[in-house]
Amino acid sequence: MAASAEQDNRRGSLGRTQTHHVEIADGERPFRLDRGARLAPVEVAYETYGELDEGAGNCVVICHALTGDAHAAGHHGDPARRGWWDTLIGPGKPVDTDRYFVVASNLLGGCRGTTGPSSVDPATGAPYGLRFPMFTVRDLVEVQRALLERLGVRRPLAAIGGSLGGMQALQWAIDHPDELGAALIVCASSRLSAQNIGFSAVARHAIMNDPDFQGGDYYGTGRRPAHGLATARMMAHITYLSAESMRTKFDRRLREGRSPHSMEPSYEVETYLRHQGEVFLERFDPNSYLYLSRVMDYFEPFAEVDVAARLRGSPTRFLVVSFDSDWRFGTSHSRPIASELAAAGTNVRDVEVASRWGHDSFLLDVPEYHRIVAEHLTEALAARLS
């Protein structure tokens, strides 16, 4: 199950890793979604790093954000192209693979090996497209729990995630209050603002109104809503960066040889955003973007009337982290999460970390943030072993 112990020339980094696949539901045992629909088969793509201890008590679950996947650390053959959270996961890093058994999977509804809109519907023999059933953050958690059961883990030490990943860690702790030793909720929200819903609405509009969207049935036609998806990614990427980080990276620098009096891209920031949109097309499915962004819109766990009662007495140690330059899911989103958890009597620590990099800070090497994460996991492991 574990990734290769091979080390590359980057100290503290994993070497080559591999994505695995497992079926967690089939026609005889379909997966029942939160809203009642049944789905089968359900396949999950996942990676593991480190070794599971004898008591299966050292498992840390990595919950990815909107456009992430199972490949969180190490590389698949090219050491220069590493997993999306390689800054955090590896030997001696905050999620230390010498101490923890780390599991990262592609989410339900994704497009990187886990069943989603691009998967074939056995009832029709064609990809689901927009006929894929709607699902919730709760469903994302339950698919991961089913995967862990296959791996021999019933009580993970911790679940950690940023953005949509943090939402999953929160939902997991609410639905299964005796299961997690720790929940690390990083730059997340428990109730999207109208502004955030608006950003996602514009992104979905760009995709669905692309002439090549074809009602979501673009698979196999030789045409896909590439322009719409690239536009959605470009706009979203702006919200992941702070004004200071954009000023530091680009300011108003003109591209070499470009005139400032042209409708063609003249500024470095324009070229950068176009590049982000283009490379995104290589790895992501437009329908998955629609579904996963909508899941975030509807997430509102504390609206359920019995949440405080479910959490009361929970042994889970909560860490809620925000970054002072994050204007997408900043401290104004994290503080209400911490307040609700504190009101329920849980053990919760709320920390705002200084960083110039905005929402993307959770993916970067921010020393104070990494120190806090490492400390929280160490405390959770010590509590479980005591």
User: Hunting for tokens 């502004």 — which residue is that?
Assistant: 195
CA–CA dist 29, 37 (Å, integer): 13
Calculate the CA 147 to chain-centre distance: 16
Alpha-carbon separation of residue 322 from 187, 192, 270, 359 (angstroms): 5, 15, 28, 9
Do 82 and 72 form a contact (C-beta atoms < 8 A)? Answer: no
Q: Catalytic: 163?
A: yes
Given the residues 139, 210, 326, 350, the one annotated as active site = 326
Do 366 and 258 form a contact (C-beta atoms < 8 A)? Answer: no
Calculate the CA 137 to chain-centre distance: 11
User: Hunting for tokens 């029942």 — which residue is that?
Assistant: 32
Helix (H, G, I), strand (E, B) or coil at 14: strand
Give the DSSP H or E segment for 47.
Answer: strand 42-49
Alpha-carbon separation of residue 165 from 14, 138, 202 (angstroms): 22, 12, 22
Phi and psi torsions of 79, nearest 5°: -60, -20
Given the residues 13, 359, 361, 376, the one annotated as active site = 359
CA–CA dist 1, 336 (Å, integer): 38
Phi and psi torsions of 338, nearest 5°: -60, -40
Calculate the CA 304 to chain-centre distance: 23
Phi and psi torsions of 312, nearest 5°: -60, 125
Q: Catalytic: 205?
A: no
Given the residues 163, 200, 242, 314, the one annotated as active site = 163
Contacts of 374 (CB under 8 A, 6+ apart): 93, 94, 96
**Interaxial angle between packed helices 226-240 and 268-281, expressed in degrees from 0 to 180 and rounded to the nearest 10:** 120
Which residues are tagged catalytic? 163, 326, 359
